[in-house]
Amino acid sequence: MFVVNVEGAIYRDEKWLLIRRSVKEEHAGGSLSLVGGKCEIEGDSKDILERTLRREILEEVGIEVTVSGYVNSSSFVTASGVNVIDIVFLCKHKSGTPFAKSIDEVDDVIWLTTSEILSRKDSPYYLKDNISLADNLLRKTQQIY
């Protein structure tokens, strides 16, 4: 009934890793986005959300991350009528230099601060919402340590 999509709010050195989605993409082509993708049908499995997220990030931008927390979930309907559940996780950059590895999905990679994302006119409202929530979660977890 739903496509399950996962996204990573990837943080390093006071900046978030974003992609400019390929203009070839059916949903939100050409827009700024977090990195992620759809869960595949696996039957019985464990940690499908986290494994899917790590796989998609590696496939799309060529880096490894540590999934460190849950940020938000939402649902939406694409222009073609597909119902999507979207789950965002806070991630820490672990290794690698990000680049547009999957050219059919990613046109560019960009590191931006929270304030830069929130002030950009080309940042979709849902990206701004997710970055605000991820930033708040990050600040809370840093206070714990």
CATH number at residue 62: 3.90.79.10
Strands 3-12 and 64-77: unpaired
pLDDT at 25: 63
- For residue 80, the 8-state DSSP code is T
Domain span holding position 60: 3-144
For the ranges 53-62, 70-79, 89-98, 134-143, which has the lowest average pLDDT?
Answer: 134-143
pLDDT at 145: 45
Q: Quick one: average pLDDT of 23-50?
A: 81
Using the predicted structure, report yes or no on whether residue 132 has a pLDDT greater than 70: yes
Give the E-state strand segments of 55-118 in sequence order. Answer: 64-77, 83-95, 106-112
* Residue 115 parent element (H or E): helix 114-119
Q: Are 108 and 73 in contact (CB under 8 A)?
A: no
Domains identified in the chain, total number:
1
pLDDT at 144: 53
What is the percentage of the chain residues whose pLDDT exceeds 90?
75
